[in-house]
Amino acid sequence: MITRLLSAALVAGFLAAVVATGLQLALTSPLIIAAERYETHAALDADDARLPIVLAHSSGHDHGDGKAQAEAAWQPGPGLPRMAFTGLATLIGGVGYALLLGAAMLACRREPTPERALAFALAGFAAVALAPALGLPPELPGSEAAPLATRQAWWLMTAAATAMGLYLILIRRAAVTILGGLVLIVAPHLAGAPVPPAETSALPAVLAAQFAARSLGIAFVFWAMIGLAFGWAWQVFGHRAEAPARA
C-alpha cells in the first residue's frame, strides 16, 4: 500500500509539475521579471534621494553597502537557472500535495479513481489556494505586505479551517456538521487577513491583478492534474500488483 501510494504520488507530482512549470514560465514569470524591474527602479530612486544625507554623514570608511549586498537574499540567476529552480520547486510541491491527497482519500476510505481523486484535488485547491487568496492574493516582488510570520500563520489557519470545513460538509453530510463546516470556512475571513503597511507600492495595479489571476488559474490546473494523474496512476499500479498474484 505504501509503495503504491508513493509511486502514484511521484507520477502525479511529476506530470502536474511539467504542466504547471510550462504555464508558469509562459504566464507568470514575465510578470515577475517586470515587477523586479519596477522594484529595482524604486530602490535606485530611493538611493538617489538618500545620497546627499549619506555623503554628509559618511566618514569615508563606511562599508554598509557591502554588508547590505552580502545580506541580500539569494535568488537563482535569470534564464536557465531560474527555470530549473522553478521546475524543481513545483515538482517537490506536486509530489508533496499528491501524497497528502492520497493519504486523505485513504483516511476517508475512498478508493482513488480519477473522478474521486479529481474531486478531492479540487477541494485541496479550494483549501490551499483559493480560500487563502481571498485575504492574501498571490503577490509580486516589491508588493507591500504584512510581516511574513503573520501571513504564514493566517495562511495555515485558513487552509486547515477550510479543509476541515469541506470535510464536515462533503464527507460527513449531517446538518450539524454542515453548519460547523460553514463556520470553519468563514471564520478566518471574519478574523481578517494581516493588513500590509499603509505605504504605497510602485507596482501598477493591473500587473498585480494579472499575476493574482494567472497564479490562481495555474494552481487550479496544477491541482486538477494532480488529482487526475494520481487516480490514474493508482489504478495502473494496482493492476500491475494484481497481475503476478493471479499468475
What pLDDT was estimated at residue 205?
A: 85
Hey, where are the domains in the chain? 2-57+80-145+196-246
Q: Which three cell numbers stand for residue 211?
A: 499575476
| Amino acid found at 149 | A
Contact residues for 85 (Cβ-Cβ < 8 A; gap 6+):
76
In whole numbers, what is the pLDDT of the chain averaged over residues? 85
Q: Which three cell numbers stand for residue 244?
A: 503476478
The 10s digit of each residue's pLDDT in 52-86 is: 444 334 444 444 444 444 444 556 666 688 889 99
How many whole angstroms separate alpha carbon 194 and alpha carbon 111? 39
Contact residues for 214 (Cβ-Cβ < 8 A; gap 6+):
27, 28, 31
| Amino acid found at 229 | A
Given a cut of 80, is residue 46 above it in pLDDT? no
What pLDDT was estimated at residue 87?
A: 93
Mean pLDDT of 217-241: 93
The 10s digit of each residue's pLDDT in 140-168 is: 887 778 888 999 999 999 999 999 999 99
What pLDDT was estimated at residue 67?
A: 44
pTM: 0.84
Answer yes or no: are the C-beta atoms of 230 and 12 closer than 8 Å: yes
Contact residues for 177 (Cβ-Cβ < 8 A; gap 6+):
168, 169
What pLDDT was estimated at residue 77?
A: 67
How many whole angstroms separate alpha carbon 239 and alpha carbon 22? 31
